[in-house]
């Protein structure tokens, strides 16, 4: 764009985040276009979760900028970031275990956004049929896969333009991972932009367009998944 502002949906520039005195992110920089599905690949402790928490405002970055829809959000509290249309699905799922599925969805509900139909519990139950049967059960009684589906559904209730998913395939049975991939592709068709963190490369290849390799708190390599250099991946991400 000729304007100084760019056209990225999410633009993270030179983010530095700390836990106490320990620096976790070093000039983390990444950009996501509207409609794109992008993955952060990296080992445990590379800084993927901290990146997400810094974007959401759960961790306050010490320096750097996060722009979402051309608005600076690095100093906003999480609920305002969410209100702008950025949904977050955390790594450990964090289903409200003492609330029913329907109540969990209600917590996530936000007003519809212009030009898009609002997600309702019924529409989400079409996407996640397993949840429909158990709508009055407590979140704590669900299996791991069902909890993962519920957290995604709960975040969608906020009608986000973009969702951030932290290692969604972790700890799930292969057949559930297949379902998850199918779900994410459906969401992509619905024009929801997605940023996810993964360690499962084959899963990432099925759903993502582009990858950032994250190593020691910074991006070391960037490429489309189709052209991902195997040596680079081995160097930074393999276990």
Among 60, 62, 63, 77, binds other proteins (CB under 8 A): 77
- Kindly state the smallest distance separating residue 154's Cβ from other proteins, in Å: 7
* Residue (78 or 171) nearer to other proteins, CB: 78
* CA distance linking residue 95 with residue 105, whole number of Å: 10
118 binding other proteins? (CB under 8 A)? no
Binding residues for other proteins restricted to 33-62, rule: CB under 8 A = 56, 58
83 binding other proteins? (CB under 8 A)? yes
Among 14, 91, 103, 178, binds other proteins (CB under 8 A): 103
Span from 81-89, 114-122, 125-133, 190-198 in contact with other proteins (CB under 8 A): 81-89
- Kindly state the smallest distance separating residue 166's Cβ from other proteins, in Å: 11
30 binding other proteins? (CB under 8 A)? no
114 binding other proteins? (CB under 8 A)? no
Please check whether residue 167 is in contact with residue 201, taking contact to mean a CB–CB distance below 8 angstroms.
no
Q: Tokens 């304007």: give the residue.
A: 3
- Kindly state the smallest distance separating residue 49's Cβ from other proteins, in Å: 12
Span from 66-74, 87-95, 114-122, 230-238 in contact with other proteins (CB under 8 A): 87-95
Site string for other proteins, 6-25 (x = CB under 8 A): -------------xx-----
Enumerate binding residues for other proteins (CB under 8 A).
19-20, 56, 58, 77-80, 82-83, 88, 90, 92, 94, 96-99, 103-104, 106-110, 154-155, 158
């Amino acid at each position: 764009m000729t304007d100084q502002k760019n056209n990225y949906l999410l633009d993270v520039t030179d983010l530095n985040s700390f836990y106490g005195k320990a620096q976790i992110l070093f000039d983390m920089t990444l950009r996501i276009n509207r409609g794109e599905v992008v993955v952060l690949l990296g080992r445990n402790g590379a800084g993927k979760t901290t990146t997400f928490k810094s974007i959401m405002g759960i961790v306050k970055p010490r320096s750097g900028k996060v722009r979402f829809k051309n608005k600076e959000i690095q100093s906003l509290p999480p609920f305002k970031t969410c209100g702008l249309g950025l949904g977050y699905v955390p790594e450990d799922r964090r289903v409200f275990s003492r609330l029913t599925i329907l109540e969990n969805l209600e917590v996530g509900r936000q007003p519809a956004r212009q030009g898009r139909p609002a997600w309702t519990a019924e529409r989400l139950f079409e996407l996640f049929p397993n949840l429909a049967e158990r709508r009055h059960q407590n979140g704590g009684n669900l299996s791991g896969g069902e909890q993962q589906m519920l957290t995604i559904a709960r975040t969608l209730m906020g009608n986000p333009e973009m969702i951030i998913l932290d290692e969604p395939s972790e700890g799930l049975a292969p057949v559930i991972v297949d379902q998850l991939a199918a779900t994410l592709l459906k969401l992509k068709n619905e024009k929801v932009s997605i940023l996810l963190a993964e360690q499962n490369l084959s899963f990432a290849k099925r759903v993502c367009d582009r990858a950032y390799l994250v190593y020691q708190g910074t991006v070391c390599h960037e490429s489309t998944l189709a052209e991902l250099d195997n040596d680079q991946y081995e160097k930074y991400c393999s276990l």
